Amino acid sequence: MSTSTALIPSGIPGLDDVLQGGLRPGHLYFVEGDPGTGKTTFGLQFLIEGLRQGERCLLISLAESPQEVALIAHAHGWSIEGLEVRDLVSSDEVHSTALFDLSEIALDDRMQAMLAEMDSLRPQRLVLDTLAGLRVYSDQSSYFRRHIELFRSKAVEIGTTLLVTDEASGPAELHPRSLAWGIIRMEHRVTDYGRGRRRLWLPKLRGQAYIGGYHDMRIETGGLTVFPRLETREPSTQPPDGRVSSGSAPLDALLGGGVERGTSVGIVGAPGCGKSTLVSSFAVAAVGRGERVALYAFDESLITFRKRALSQALDIDAALASDLLRLRQIDPGQVAPGELARELADEVEHNHTQLIVIDSLNGYLQAMPDDPSINLQVHDLLSYLSAHGALTLVTLAHPSPLSRQEGLAVDLSYLADTVIAQRYFEAYGAIRYAISVMKKRYGDHERTIREYRIGRGGIIVGEPLSEFRGVLTGVPEYLGENKPLL
């Protein structure tokens, strides 16, 4: 019997972070999910990691033939040389009983065959794929459970880490989940557009702490990758503090001297108000100070982003050439929220990025349609980035008078530490632009509303609109004597 308390790697990137170390050796784990959720891939990846560790590994298949197993491995670019595969799908005994003899005798025969293989090979890792292949031989839950108990007992005796794939549906009495040390549940949610959303969670894990909740997951060539849900925790070193300049003295004055590191800034306004231009100005100014910047564009291509910046005399090319600015175009139909959140976490943890820009949050939210936890997910993301000392700029397009879009599901006034509002208004037969700071948690700021325009150098902030009343309504009343000019 194994007495080791050291955790072993699962071989699945990100999963060991969820498990906070890995799997406990010598125990039984169930991997559950509907067909197509990746259970067989999970099992193979677990075994291939064992081969890399120099361990004896055994796959007992009740779902695929050895040829099909080899095809799955080849599709992922894996070598299964050294992996012992035992086929209980296509043997003569299975064919002779599968259609006609669904008795407990058939179940006992298969169980004894598996126990004999375990005695012979004494594997350190074993995957049984799938438990549903055994369940068809018994309709008595107590009898079926006793056989699984024998299987688990043998694994504990010889120190085998046993991973059993199973379907999540069906009568509970035919799922001996109470025997498992841990259960990993895999899901695939199909959306109206895009690749859908894969995720996993742990209904049960004994004897160790783990990160609860749902974790987004991806299956592609090379296998499964899990993106652990972010948990805000104190970093190992104290992040830097201090104020950050926007690159514009008038805007800094409006912000009370700038914005603080380790905070989040929400920039809200109707489409066309210059939100992307404003964050571009922040990014170029940060690069000029020698800081690392990561900008994630959801709403436009990188070509469009670059052309707009250059037309406004923002030297985006020099920033890119310095390797301090990283531009990333995101397709919300292809990237799960958890995947993006983990990438952002890596930016601040491993690349020490000091400015994160999400342009815009509307695109990020498209990856979470009808998700009631949107505000909580965005809050956790911003809190995580803030805890690591990053300044995060988030743009959010509010409905314009030309749009029929209804209210947004996320409230930046609650989520962000500072909120900058940009809007246009009509005056003297022309569209004008106004900017104001609606909120700032740390420090004071101007309460004025200033006019601005978009020109060379980005956002050009003018004087307060002190002679107007009702600017925020979009139809202001001019109270002065002379027509104001910016």
209 and 260 together in one domain = no
Omega before 130 within 30 of 0, i.e. cis = yes
**Single residue among 194, 227, 260 that ends a domain in this structure:** 227
Helix (H, G, I), strand (E, B) or coil at 144: helix
Q: Is residue 237 a part of any domain in this protein?
A: no
Of 125 and 299, the one with more pLDDT:
125
Stretch 173-196: mean pLDDT: 86
Burial class from Cβ neighbours inside 10 Å (0-12, 13-18, 19+) for residue 479 reads: exposed
261 and 205 together in one domain = no
Q: Is residue 172 a part of any domain in this protein?
A: yes
**Pairing status of strand 215-220 against strand 223-227:** antiparallel
Give the pLDDT confidence score for residue 135 in this predicted structure: 83
- Compute how many other C-beta atoms are within 10 angstroms of the C-beta atom of residue 113: 15
Helix (H, G, I), strand (E, B) or coil at 200: strand
pLDDT over 90 (residue 360): no
Q: What is the pLDDT of residues 451-467, one digit of tens each?
A: 899 988 888 998 888 77
Stretch 161-186: mean pLDDT: 89
Give the pLDDT confidence score for residue 134 in this predicted structure: 84
Q: Is residue 2 a part of any domain in this protein?
A: no
Task: Answer yes or no: are the C-beta atoms of 396 and 360 closer than 8 Å.
Answer: yes
45 and 144 together in one domain = yes
pTM for this model (two decimals): 0.85
154 and 265 together in one domain = no
Compute the C-alpha angle 235/236/241, nearest 5°: 60
Give the pLDDT confidence score for residue 102 in this predicted structure: 47
Task: Answer yes or no: are the C-beta atoms of 65 and 90 closer than 8 Å.
Answer: yes
Stretch 228-257: mean pLDDT: 83
Give the pLDDT confidence score for residue 94 in this predicted structure: 43
419 and 360 together in one domain = yes
pLDDT over 70 (residue 345): yes
Compute the C-alpha angle 345/388/385, nearest 5°: 50
Which of 2-6, 232-236, 254-258, 306-310 is most confident? Answer: 254-258
Given CA atoms 268, 270, 272, 273 in this order, what sign does their dihedral have? negative
Count structural domains, the chain.
2
Give the pLDDT confidence score for residue 231 in this predicted structure: 83
Q: Tell me which residue range forms the domain holding 337.
A: 243-478
Stretch 465-476: mean pLDDT: 71
Complete DSSP assignment for 274-333: SHHHHHHHHHHHHHHTT--EEEEESSS-HHHHHHHHHHTT--HHHHHHTT-EEEEE--TT
- Compute how many other C-beta atoms are within 10 angstroms of the C-beta atom of residue 9: 16
Give the pLDDT confidence score for residue 480 in this predicted structure: 63
Of 226 and 193, the one with more pLDDT:
226
212 and 260 together in one domain = no
Burial class from Cβ neighbours inside 10 Å (0-12, 13-18, 19+) for residue 151 reads: buried
Among the residues of 312-435, which ranges form H helices? 316-321, 337-349, 361-366, 374-387, 412-415
Element (H, E) at 69: helix 66-75
Stretch 149-156: mean pLDDT: 93
Q: Is residue 232 a part of any domain in this protein?
A: no
Q: Is residue 8 a part of any domain in this protein?
A: no
Q: What is the mean pLDDT of the chain?
A: 86
**Single residue among 172, 201, 227 that ends a domain in this structure:** 227
Of 190 and 121, the one with more pLDDT:
121
188 and 249 together in one domain = no
Task: Answer yes or no: are the C-beta atoms of 187 and 213 closer than 8 Å.
Answer: no
275 and 215 together in one domain = no
Instruction: Assign residue 82 the CATH number of its domain.
Output: 3.40.50.300
Give the pLDDT confidence score for residue 403 in this predicted structure: 45
**Single residue among 227, 261, 286 that ends a domain in this structure:** 227
Per-residue pLDDT band for 104 (boundaries 50, 70, 90) equals low
Give the pLDDT confidence score for residue 241 in this predicted structure: 75
86 and 204 together in one domain = yes
469 and 370 together in one domain = yes
Who's near 339: CB < 8 A, 6+ residues apart?
A: 216, 218, 227
Stretch 128-147: mean pLDDT: 85
pLDDT over 50 (residue 325): yes
pLDDT over 50 (residue 402): no
Q: Which amino acid belongs to residue 165?
A: T
Give the pLDDT confidence score for residue 251 in this predicted structure: 93
84 and 176 together in one domain = yes
Q: Is residue 435 a part of any domain in this protein?
A: yes
189 and 43 together in one domain = yes
Per-residue pLDDT band for 93 (boundaries 50, 70, 90) equals very low
Q: Is residue 260 a part of any domain in this protein?
A: yes
Q: Is residue 235 a part of any domain in this protein?
A: no
Give the pLDDT confidence score for residue 45 in this predicted structure: 98
Per-residue pLDDT band for 49 (boundaries 50, 70, 90) equals very high
Per-residue pLDDT band for 475 (boundaries 50, 70, 90) equals low
Q: Which residues pair with 189 in a beta bridge?
A: 197
